[in-house]
Structure 1
Amino acid sequence: MPPIQRPDAGVTEIREERDVEPTSPLGVLGLQRLGGFLPRLLLAYAACRVVSGVILAIVATRQVPTGWTGPVVSYLTFTAQWDGQWYQQIALGGYPHRLPVDGAGLVQQNAWAFYPLFPLLSRALMDLTGLDFYVVGSTVSLVAGFVAAGAMGLLLRPRLGDRATLAVVVLWASMPAAVVLQVGYTEALAMALLTLFLLALSKRSWLTATGLALLLGLARPIAVPLAAVTLVAIWQRWHRRRDEPIERSEALSALAALAGCGVSGILWPAIAGLSTGRADAYTATMSTWRGSREIVPFTPWLDMSRYYFGATWGPVWLVTLFVLIAMLALGPWAARLGAQLRTWSLAYPAYLLVVLDPFTSIFRYLIPLFPLGAVLIGVGGHPRWSGWQQWARVRFWVLLGAFVIGQWYWVDVLWRFVPPSDYPP
C-alpha cells in the first residue's frame, strides 16, 4: 500500500464538480491521462476480495449443512445464504402473481421485497452459460464490485489525489460487511450503479445519470437521496450560468435526471402493484419483515435506542449519532469531497433514519457511505488541516486492521447460520 499523499489545495465548495470536458467517451468516464492509476486501484481491490474470500472459505468449514447449502457446504453454496436464497428463487422462478397470505389474510414474506435487476441479470447469465446461481450470482457481484471500485476511484481522484483515493477505496472494500460485494446479494451491483451515477453527475452527463437512476430503481430503493444529490448538481450548474450559459438541451437533460430519480423511487412498487393487482403489494410485503408489521418512520430507531440505552439516554445517543454524521459531512475535514458527495453523505443516512428498521443489517446499509472514509482517514480536508492529515497513514492502517477483524466477526457471527434460527446479516 503506497503512503497516503497530502491532498492538493484549491478545491472549493461552490466550484462545479466537473473535471474533464465530456466531449468523448473517455472524457465522460474520466479515463483520460489515468496512466497506471486504475490498474493499481483494481489490483488493490482484488487483494481486498482475496482477503474476504479467504475469510469466507475458512468460516464455510464451520457452517453446518442447511436447506440453503445442501448436504455439503462449499464456498459457493456458502455465498448464497439468507437473502441470497430469495434472489436464487427469483432467478429460477420469478415473482408470484398473487401475494401469499395466511389464514387470517395477512401477507406473508415473499419475493416482491427484493428488487429484480440482480436476480434477473443472474438468470440471463445462467441461461447463457449453463452455470447455476451459486456460480453466476457470486460472479455478478464480484464483477460489479470491480466496476464500483473503478468508478469510485475516478470520482474521488480529482478531489483527493491518487494515493488518498486508493486508500479510501481500499478502506471501503474492507468494511466489516464488504464480504457482500462477492456473494449472491445485490449490494455490489447497486454500488456500481450508484458510483457511476455520481460520476455521471460530476461530469454533467445528465442523460447517462437519468438511465443509471432508472436502473437503480430496479436494484436498490435509494431514489430519495439520489434526488437530493441531483438537485445540488443542478444548483451548481445554475450557479455557473453566467460564465457558461445553459443551453435548452442541457436544461432539459438536467431536468430529465431529476425526473429519473423520481421515477426510480416509484418504479418497483408500481411494477409490484400492477403485477399482483394490489397497489400496496411492495409496502405490504416489506412490512412482513417488521416485528410490528408496520412501516413507521423514525419509530424503529427510537425503539432500538431506548432498548439499548434506556428511555432517557436512548434518544440522546441517537441524536448524537446523527449530529456526528452531519459534522463529519459538513465540517472542514470534508471540504475536498465537494457539495455533491457531502450531500450524499447527509441525505443517505437521513433516508435510512426514515425508512430503515435498524438491526444487524445496518452494517450492510453503511456500505454506500464511502465518501466518509476520506474523513475518517483524514484526507478529505483543506490543506490548513495539515496536522490532522499528518496522521492519515496511521489512521488508515488502524481502521484497515479493525475492518478486517470486523469482516471475520460479520461472516462468522452474522453470515454463518446457526440453526434453528439466527440473526440475519
Structure 2
Amino acid sequence: MAERVVSPAPVRLRAEVLDLLRRTPWWLAVLGIWAASRAVTTGIMLSFAARQQASAWTQASPGYLDFSRLWDGHWYYIIAAVGYPGEIPRDDDGRAGENAWAFMPVYPGLVRIGMALTGDFSAQGFALVAVTISIIASAAAALLFFVLMRRWLSHGTALLATTLFCTMPLSPILQVAYAEALHLALLLGALILVLDRHWRTLAVVVTVMALSRPSGLAFALLLALVFLWRWMRRDREPFSIRERLHLGLSTVIAGFAGLAWPGIVALSTGDLLGYTDTELAWRRPYIGDVHLVPFTPWWQGAQWWLGEVRGPIILIIVLLLVAAAFALPAMRAMPIELRLWIIAYGLYLLAVFFPQSSTFRLLVPIVPVLGAVAAGIVSVGRGPLGRVALAALAIGLGIAGQVGWVHIAWWVDAYDWTPP
C-alpha cells in the first residue's frame, strides 16, 4: 500500500491564506489594509502628541485633533474660517510675507462647508471636519491606488503595493488637516483616466486637482509627453484625429488649470506677482531674497544645505541615480504613462521648489513607484518565505520612516525649523 503524503503545515497554511485572499472582494481587502495602517499611524501620532510641549498651535499634550492641525493646518483654518486676505501683505521694502494665498481653495472650501453644516467655526470644529475629510479621502486614495496598480500588476502584488502605500513614511500626512489626501485621491483618479484614455472626464478631474495642490502644470507636461509618445507610435497603435483633439484639449485645460490660481490671486489682490512672491516668502529664511528662476532652487538648496561645491556634486549624483533607476526591470514594466508622470512631476519640482524638510511631503505624488517596489520584491524574493520576509522588511521600514518623519517634521520641538 502506498504511503499517504501529508502536506506540511506551512504549505497548507499558505494555501489557505491564498484561497482566503482570492475569495475576499478586492475593495474589502484594501479597506482592511487601510484600516490596519490607520490604526498604526494613529498610534504613532498619539505617542508623539502625548509628549508634545506647548507650542504656537496647541497646549502641551494635545488630543489627536489638536495635534493634527499643526503647521499649515492653521493656514487652512484661517482660510476656512475667514477666507483669503484682500491684499498681499508686504513689508516696507515691498517683500511679501507668508500668507494664506499660498494655499489653494478646494480643501479649505470643503472644510468651510463642513463647518457650516456643523455650526462649529472654532479651531476644534475645524480640526474635526478637516481630519474627517482627509481620512475619507485617504480611504478613497487607497482604493484608487489599488485600481491603478491592477492596470499592470497581479492581484497579490497590487495588494502588496497598496500595503506599502498605506504604510509609507509620509502616511501620517493622509490623516491630518492638510490637503494631501484629497489631492492624492484626485491625482490617482486622474492617472487611471489617463491609462484608460477617458480624456473628457480627465479635464474635469485635473481642474479640481490643480486647485487642491500645485500640480496642474506637471500634469499638463505629462499629457504633452503622452501625446508625443502616441504620435511617435501612431503607425503601431491607432491615434485617431478625434483622440488627438481630446488629448490635446485636455493638455491645454490642464495647463490653464495649473496657471489658474496665480491668476486668481492676481485678480483678487491686484498684485500681478502675488502668488509667486508669496511662495518665495517661505524660502527667504534659508537663502534670503531671490527671484524665481526655473531650475535654480535645487542648485541653491544643495549649496545652502551641503556646501557650495559638495552640494551640487551630491545633487548631480542623486539625479543620475534616479535616472538610472528607470532602467530597472520593475520600472520598465510600469506603464509608460506612469513613468512619464514621475518624470513630469520630478521636472516640475526641480523647476520651482526649494528643497527643505517639506520636500518629503512634496514627493508623495510619485507614489506609483511603490508598484515597482512591490514588483521588485516579488521578483527578487527567493520562494514564498523570501518574498514575505522582504515584504515585511519594506513595511517595517515604512512604519519606522513614519516615526522618523513625525519626529523630524510634524512634532514641534522647541524652535523648529523643519516644517512638514
2:145 is matched with which residue?
Answer: 152
Counterpart position of 1:328 = 325
User: One-letter code of the match for 1:365?
Assistant: L
1:329/1:345 contact within 8 Å kept: no
Shift of residue 76, structure 1, vs aligned partner: 0.4
Please state how far the C-alpha of 1:330 moved relative to its aligned partner.
4.1
Which residue does 2:105 correspond to in 1? 116
Could you say which residue in structure 2 is the equivalent of 1:282?
Answer: 275
Q: State the partner residue of 1:93.
A: 82
- SS of 1:46's equivalent in the other structure is helix
SS at match of 1:337: coil
Residues 122 and 136, structure 1, Cα contact 8 Å, conserved in 2: yes
Letter in structure 1 aligned against 2:261 = W
For residues 188-207 of structure 1, what are the structure 2 equivalents within 5 Å?
188-207=181-200
Asked whether 1:165 is paired with 2:164, we answer no
Partner-residue secondary structure (3-state), 1:324: helix
Aligned-partner Cα distance in 2 for 1:284–1:307: 20
Report the more deviating stretch, 222-231 or 191-200: 222-231
| Equivalence map 1:17-56=2 (5 Å) | 36-56=25-45
Structure 2 CA distance for partners of 1:355 and 1:245, relative to 1, 3 Å: closer
1:137 is aligned to 130
**Alignment-mate amino acid for residue 151 of structure 2:** P
Residues 116/398 of structure 1: CA separation in 2 closer, same or farther (3 Å cut): same
User: For the residues of structure 2 that align with 1:152 and 1:306, how far apart are their CA atoms?
Assistant: 36
Equivalent positions of 1:97-108 (< 5 A) are 97-108=86-97
2:346 maps to amino acid: P
Question: Is the aligned partner of 1:313 residue 2:307?
Answer: no
Deviation at 1:241, TM superposition (A): 7.3
Q: Which digits, 9 at most, give the CA deviation of each residue in 1:15-41, with x for residues without a partner? A: xxxxxxxxxxxxxxxxxx997112201
Question: Which is worse superposed, 322-331 or 161-170?
Answer: 322-331
Given the alignment, which residue of 341, 351, 359 partners 1:354? 351
Is 1:73 matched up with 2:62?
Answer: yes
Question: 1:303: how far off?
Answer: 3.5
1:263-283 CA distance string (max 9 Å, x none): 111010000000001111100
The structure-2 alpha-carbon separation of the partners of 1:388 and 1:346, relative to structure 1 and needing over 3 Å to count, comes to farther
Q: Which residue of 1 aligns with 2:399?
A: 404
Q: What are the ranges of 5 or more consecutive residues in structure 1 without an aligned counterpart?
A: 4-32
The structure with more radius of gyration: 2
TM-score (norm 2): 0.86
CA distance in 1, matches of 2:346, 2:54: 37
- Alignment correspondent of 2:240: 246
Q: 1:395 aligns with which of 390, 399, 402?
A: 390
Task: Check whether the contact 2:80–2:109 (CA below 8 A) recurs between aligned residues.
Answer: yes
Amino acid at match of 1:324: L
Tell me which amino acid in the other structure corresponds to 2:184: M
Rounded to whole Å, the distance in 2 between the matches of 1:256 and 1:388 is 44
After superposition, the C-alpha distances for 1:153-185 in whole angstroms (9 at most, x for unaligned) are 111113011111111122122222210100000
Aligned partners of 2:207 and 2:216 also within 8 Å:
no
**Does the 8 A contact of 1:176 with 1:410 survive in 2?**
yes
Using the alignment, how far apart are the partners of 1:347 and 1:397 within structure 2?
A: 31
CA distance in 2, matches of 1:302, 1:242: 41
Going from structure 1 to structure 2, the CA distance change for 1:214 and 1:315 (only over 3 Å counts) comes to: same
What is the CA-CA distance between 1:107 and the residue it aligns to?
1.6
Aligned positions, number: 390
- Following TM superposition, by how much is the alpha carbon of 1:64 offset from its aligned partner in structure 2, in angstroms? 1.8
Following the alignment from structure 1 to structure 2, what is the Cα–Cα distance between the partners of residues 326 and 392? Answer: 26
Q: How far apart are residue 140 of structure 1 and its match?
A: 0.8
What is the CA–CA distance in structure 1 between the aligned matches of 2:275 and 2:23, rounded to whole Å? 43
**In structure 2, what is the Cα distance between the partners aligned to 1:246 and 1:153?**
30
What is the alpha-carbon distance in structure 2 between the residues aligned to residue 204 and residue 273 of structure 1? 34
Displacement of 1:344 after TM fit? 1.2
Name the structure with the higher helix share. 2
Cross-structure match for 1:210: 203
Instruction: Give, as a single letter, the amino acid of the residue that structure 2 aligns with 1:87.
Output: Y
Q: Is the 8 A contact 1:115 1:220 kept in 2?
A: yes
Q: In the alignment, what sits opposite 2:251?
A: 258
Aligned partners of 1:325 and 1:389: how far apart in 2?
Answer: 26
What SS does the corresponding residue of 1:334 show, helix, strand or coil?
Answer: helix
CA distance in structure 2 between the aligned counterparts of 1:75 and 1:225, rounded to whole angstroms: 34
Change (3 A) 1:255 1:160: same
Structure 1 residues 111-149: Cα deviation after superposition (integer angstroms, max 9, x where no partner):
001111111111011112335111011111111111111
2:340 to 331, 338, 343: 343
The 2-side partners of 1:226 and 1:299 are apart by 21
RCO higher in 1 or 2 (8 Å CA, sep ≥ 6)?
Answer: 1
